[in-house]
Amino acid sequence: MSNVTVLDGGFATQLSVHVGKSIDGDPLWSARFNATDPNAVFKTHLDFLEAGAEAIMTNTYQASIEGYVEYLHLTEDTSLNLIKSTVRVAQMARNHFLAKVGTTVDGRPTTIPLLVASIGPYGAHLHDGSEYTGRYASEVSMDTIQKWHRPRIDACLEAGVDVLGIETIPCKMEAEALLHMMSEEYPTVRFWISFQCKDSQRLANGELFSETVNSLWAKARAARNPNLLALGVNCVHPQFVTPLFRAVNEKRPPEARIPLIVYPNSGEMYTVEDGWQGKEDCVPLEHYVPQWIDLGARFIGGCCRTYARDIKRIKQAVLNHGSDSNRRH
C-alpha cells in the first residue's frame, strides 16, 4: 500500500474540455462557471475521480465575495451561497463516483476520496498577478489577510469539506497569518499549505522555501496543532520541486521528515501575449514521482495544464513506486 494520496489536476485545464474555450485571462477564471455552468464543474470533478484521484479540490480558488460582487454583480450573501453550492457540486460528483464504482476497485475496498476546499491566496482576487510575486506582503497586515480569508473558509466548512487546501501562497507572512488562524480559530480542521515559488530555492516573494517550511512546521508543533497535513508547492515548474524538497528533508532522518505536498504545472510557460508555450519540451510529471516520494512527498497531483489523463499516469507511478518499495523490503 502506498502512503501517498494522489490529488486531482489543473481544474481550469480540464474544465476547458467541457466548456470548449480558454478560461485563462478571465478575472474570475474557472470560478465564473460555478454560476454559469455547474454541470461542467461536476463533470470535471468526475473526470479526475475516474482517473484515480484520491482527493478532489473544490472550484473555489478564485471565488471571493469581492470578485463575485464586482464581476457577477451578486450580493455578499449570494456570493457566499455560490461558494457553498460549489462545494456541494464537488460532493455530488464524489457521491456519483462512489455509487458507480461500488465498494471495491480492482478487488480493493474503495477509499472515499477526500473533499478539499481550494483556498487561494489574497493576491488572487486582486487580479494583478500578485499571487506570483507576493508583493502585498509589505502592504497589508496579517489581520487584513485573515479577515479576507475567513468568510470563504467558513462557507466551505459550513457546506462540508474534509480538508482545506491553502494553496499558491507567495509569501511567508500570509502563510503565518493562516497557520495562526487555523490553530486559534479552527483547531479541529485539517489543512495543508502549499507555496508559489519563483525558482528552486525561494518563494515568489523571495523568502527561502526551506527556512519558511521549517519555521511553519516548528510553529505548528509548538501550537500542538496536529492538523497541518503537509507543506509544499503548487503551480510551479516541476524542475524546481526536487531541489526545493531536498533543502527541507534531505538531511532529516526518515522519522523526522516533514510531510510534503506537490502539484506542479506541466512545465509549459505562460505569457499574457502568447498563452501557454513549450508543451513539446515538457518531461511528463510521472517521471518525477519516485524522487518526490523518496524526499517525503505525501500528496502528489497537478496544477495548470495538467489533465485527467496526467493524473492517471501519476497514479500509476505512485502505485508502481509502492510495489517497488515493498519488493525492496
Calpha distance 126→140 (Å, rounded): 13
CA dist 155 and 135 (Å) reads: 27
Q: How far apart are CA 35 and CA 270, in angstroms?
A: 26
Cβ contact 180:208 at 8 Å: no
Strand partners, 163: 116, 190
Directed axis angle between helix 76-101 and helix 142-159, to 10°? 50
In this structure, the strands spanning 269-271 and 275-277 are: antiparallel
Is 282 annotated among the ligand-binding residues?
A: no
β strands within 53-153, DSSP E:
55-57, 104-105, 108-109, 114-119
The Cα angle at residue 240 between residues 287 and 133, in degrees rounded to 5: 140
304 belongs to an annotated ligand binding site: yes
Q: Which residues are annotated as a binding site for Zn(2+)?
A: 235, 303-304
Q: Which residues are annotated as a binding site?
A: 235, 303-304
